[in-house]
Structure 1
Amino acid sequence: MIKLFSLKQQQKKEEGDGPAKSGGQKRASAAQLRITKDINELNLPKTCHMDFPDPDDLLNFKLSISPDEGFYRGGKFTFNFKVGQGYPHEAPKVKCETMVYHPNIDLDGNVCLNILREDWKPVLTINSIIYGLQYLFLEPNPEDPLNKDAAEVLQNNRRIFEQNVNKSMRGGYVGSTYFERCLK
């Protein structure tokens, strides 16, 4: 009984002292601590840029990739990252905001990248995802498609695939789908 009473007193004292000592801030979650570490250790390629719409919220940010080689050279593609409280044990949710003609990105912005799904491991970082996304633009993978039409064209006729990518990036129709201009 005495121990329980003294624990409750100690808790009340800590709650009373807590905000005054920490400046009114809540304790950072494991996800916030890890994302802060990941961002501080980032080694962004020159073709990538990060933007934090709310500088106090590191769990939600945007990444722009502007490939300087390959089919998508000259384009600018924006991805939205939502890092959940389960991070680093759960992969962040990543969606492409730029509609793109790509075998591994569907027209709704879903991204097919193995480390965002079954191959995610807590040792992977935001940097790993950024390099994985960048690699998708350098080497689209028709073997694991989300956009089956684009994958089929890439497998059967690379020249027509390249023409479709160029049409979509300039702004225009590929088949019955209209793409907004995304060239820089």
Structure 2
Amino acid sequence: MLNIWSMRGDKGDRGGRKALKLTAAQLRVQKDVSELEEYATMKPIWENKENMLEFKLQITPDEGMYKGGVYNFVFNITDAYPHEAPKVKCTQKIYHPNIDLEGNVCLNILREDWKPVLNLNSVFVGLQYLFLEPNAADPLNKDAAQVLRQDRDQFIRNVKTSISGRYIDGVQYDNVQDSSTHV
């Protein structure tokens, strides 16, 4: 687990180093991270421990039609957080009605339903829920949404095809298969 308190910097001047002053957004992210619930299917990753406002989230669904894939999202949090929602993008090209081919995510709490009382845990759970119950009523990928509405079984076949990096309707999707599930 990330030791968020080590990111605060020194409280005084030690050996010529000045204390780091944290912004309100950084303080709030620290609080959110300290309260994150641990999930076997979601893992936040800070590549630069000095910058807690940018990180990755890896989701590995253990049930549903997206099971067997590993999905990566990047989070960019501005200094306006928590008054402004985090910016979230999927780093892979996946077949999903609520995630377009450029990685933009359609999740209501990342847009019009964001409130400062929500936190990173809310966003993590919301993203995971998109893999359990894709929403064809509010799509970014209209083609995938149409298939989901018209033929759920075909949609599930398309998801399984896309996870392995194959083509659907002329679009090649990224291979997101979880290598730990292969023998």
Shared fold per TM-score greater than 0.5: yes
Kindly state the Cα deviation for residue 25 of structure 1 after the two structures are TM-superposed.
Answer: 2.6
| Structure 1 segments (4+ residues) deviating >2 Å | 18-23
Of 173, 179, 183, the match for 1:179: 173
Tell me how far apart the structure 2 counterparts of residues 44 and 134 of structure 1 sit (CA, whole Å).
13
Tell me how far apart the structure 1 counterparts of residues 55 and 19 of structure 2 sit (CA, whole Å).
21
Amino acid at match of 1:142: A
Amino acid at match of 1:46: A
Q: Give me the CA root mean square deviation.
A: 1.5
> In the alignment, which residue of structure 2 is the partner of 1:20?
13
Kindly state the Cα deviation for residue 23 of structure 1 after the two structures are TM-superposed.
Answer: 4.0
> In the alignment, which residue of structure 1 is the partner of 2:96?
102
TM-score under structure 1 normalisation?
Answer: 0.87
> In the alignment, which residue of structure 2 is the partner of 1:143?
137
The DSSP-based 3-state class of the residue aligned with 1:123 is coil
Task: Among all aligned residue pairs of Structure 1 and Structure 2, give the percentage whose two residues are the same amino acid.
Answer: 51
Instruction: Indicate yes or no: 2:91 matched with 1:70.
Output: no
Deviations 1:103-124 (A, max 9, x none): 0000000000000000000000
TM-score under structure 2 normalisation?
Answer: 0.88
Amino acid at match of 2:138: D
Kindly state the Cα deviation for residue 139 of structure 1 after the two structures are TM-superposed.
Answer: 0.2
The DSSP-based 3-state class of the residue aligned with 1:20 is coil
> In the alignment, which residue of structure 1 is the partner of 2:36?
42
Question: Is the 8 Å Cα contact of residues 44 and 127 (structure 1) preserved in structure 2?
Answer: no
Tell me how far apart the structure 2 counterparts of residues 158 and 83 of structure 1 sit (CA, whole Å).
35
* 1:157-176 superposed matches below 5 A: 157-176=151-170
Question: Is the 8 Å Cα contact of residues 13 and 19 (structure 2) preserved in structure 1?
Answer: no
Kindly state the Cα deviation for residue 20 of structure 1 after the two structures are TM-superposed.
Answer: 3.2
The DSSP-based 3-state class of the residue aligned with 1:34 is helix
Kindly state the Cα deviation for residue 29 of structure 1 after the two structures are TM-superposed.
Answer: 0.3
The DSSP-based 3-state class of the residue aligned with 2:13 is helix
Q: Which runs of 5+ in 1 are unaligned?
A: 1-17
- Greater per-residue helix proportion: 1
> In the alignment, which residue of structure 1 is the partner of 2:47?
53
> In the alignment, which residue of structure 1 is the partner of 2:181?
none
- Tell me the matched-pair count: 167
Tell me how far apart the structure 2 counterparts of residues 33 and 164 of structure 1 sit (CA, whole Å).
42
Tell me how far apart the structure 2 counterparts of residues 23 and 119 of structure 1 sit (CA, whole Å).
42
